[in-house]
């Protein structure tokens, strides 16, 4: 190292004597604790739950993928079975009823028999 470089280093190193006032770090810790407390109070219980769940999920390592896949499979199966009209549901007895329609059924329509001009009762003309 050259002489000038040593001189520069020596002068710059004087900056290490710049210190904060006495008691600064005690106050700093108190402020930090206060901030942590107020932050904790602001957090809702739901976000705390998710934070802890995420922390737990990170910690479980490779098992998490198997557990995650299992959970996803269980969720999908539960959705299929519980979905209205799905295979797990009991058939509704009224479900076979035809829907109401205002259109006449043309194929099954039979016109009324024509009225006879000479009415007969028991094969005798009146």
Partner 1 sequence: MSTEPVKEPATDSDRELVRRAQAGNTQAFDELVVKFSPRLYGMVYHMTSNKEDTHDLLQEIFAKAYHSLKRFRGKSSFYTWIYSIATNMTLNFLKKRKRRATWSLDDVDSGIQNDDAMVDIGRAANPRHQSGVNELQKKLNEAMQSLSEDHRVVVTMFDIQGIPHAEIGRILKISEGTIRSRLFYAHQQLQGHLEEFIR
Q: Using the rule CB under 8 A, which residue among 22, 23, 25, 126 binds partner 1?
A: 25
How far, in Å, CA of 79 to CA of 72, rounded? 11
Number of residues counted as binding partner 1 (CB under 8 A): 28
Contact between 61 and partner 1 per CB under 8 A:
no
Task: Please state the closest distance from residue 49 (CB atom) to partner 1, in A.
Answer: 15
State the number of CA atoms in the 13 A half-sphere of 78 facing the CB. 6
> Using an 8 Å Cβ cutoff, are 87 and 81 in contact?
yes
Q: Which of residues 32-51 bind partner 1 (CB under 8 A)?
A: 32-33, 35-36, 39
Work out whether 60 is an interface residue with partner 1 (CB under 8 A).
no
If one asks whether residue 10 binds partner 1 (CB under 8 A), the answer comes out as: yes
Rg (CA), the chain: 44
d(CA 77, CA 83): 10
Q: Pick one of 5, 105, 117, 118: the residue that binds partner 1 (CB under 8 A).
A: 5
């Amino acid at each position: 190292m050259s002489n000038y470089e040593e001189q520069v280093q020596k002068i710059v190193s004087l900056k290490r004597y710049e210190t904060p006032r006495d008691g600064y770090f005690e106050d700093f810790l108190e402020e930090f604790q206060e901030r942590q407390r107020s932050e904790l109070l602001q957090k809702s219980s739901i976000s705390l739950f998710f934070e802890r769940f995420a922390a737990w999920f990170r910690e479980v390592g490779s098992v998490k993928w198997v557990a995650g896949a299992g959970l996803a499979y269980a969720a999908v199966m539960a959705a299929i079975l519980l979905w209205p009209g799905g295979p797990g549901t009991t058939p509704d007895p009224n479900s076979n009823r035809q829907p109401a329609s205002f259109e006449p059924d043309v194929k099954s329509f039979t016109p009324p028999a024509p009225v006879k001009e000479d009415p007969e009762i028991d094969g005798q003309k009146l």
